[in-house]
Amino acid sequence: MTYLLVMGSLVLSVVFTLGWALSRLLRWVAAGLPGGGKAKRKPARRSGATRQSGSSRASRGAGTKAAAKASAKPPREPWRVTRRLAEWHSSTAFALVAALTYLVARLAEHGMSFRPPHSVPSGFTDLVAGLGWLAAGLILLALLHRLAAWRCR
């Protein structure tokens, strides 16, 4: 009974994750189609008082800022791969689901190994190892996403 409960929860987690991945893929494809993307927002207009105070501040420090800008190198634009990684927001959620599924499966394997009349099925150990590698890869991808999002700011 425990085996069916654990395997059922694993199947439910995998189906949920694959469904989520499919929905994100469909959204990404739909956004690439003509007329499928969201309209971009225009920046807000500033009032006259804000423009005047901004121009008076700019005239005071214009000499020092111009000298600093002339000596500083312009920042390089991030690579295309970095921009794509920064846009993919679901990597952290995928990593969290995979890691929790791996931990539950490892706990179940540990519990099943202490039941003397029953042994752990041979395929279950391989499944847990595969889930571990999948979780590690997704955690690495989530960390790369965070780094890319920081770089693109």
pLDDT band at 136 (very low <50, low <70, confident <90, very high): very high
Please give the C-alpha separations between residue 38 and each of 22, 33, 60, 116, in angstroms, as whole numbers. 20, 11, 41, 59
pLDDT, position 140: 93
Question: 125 by DSSP, 3-state: which?
Answer: helix
**What mean pLDDT do residues 97-120 have?**
81
- 24 or 116: which leads in pLDDT: 24
Q: Tell me the two tokens of residue 28.
A: 């990404």
Flag the least confident range among 30-39, 51-60, 73-82, 119-128.
Answer: 51-60
pLDDT tens digit sequence for 39-78: 554 555 655 555 555 555 555 555 566 655 567 777 788 8
Q: What is the mean pLDDT of the chain?
A: 76
For residue 111, is pLDDT > 70?
yes
Residue 133 is predicted with a pLDDT of 93
> What percent of the chain is modeled with pLDDT above 70?
75
Cβ-contact 107, 91 below 8 angstroms: no
> What's the pLDDT band for 12 if we cut at 50, 70, 90?
confident
pTM tops 0.75: no
Of the candidates 135, 68, 60, which has an alpha carbon nearest to the alpha carbon of residue 100? 135
Higher confidence at residue 132 or residue 11?
132
- The pLDDT score that the predictor gives to residue 132 is 92
Nearest Cα neighbor of 96 from 41, 147, 20, 30 is: 20
Radius of gyration of the chain (CA): 26
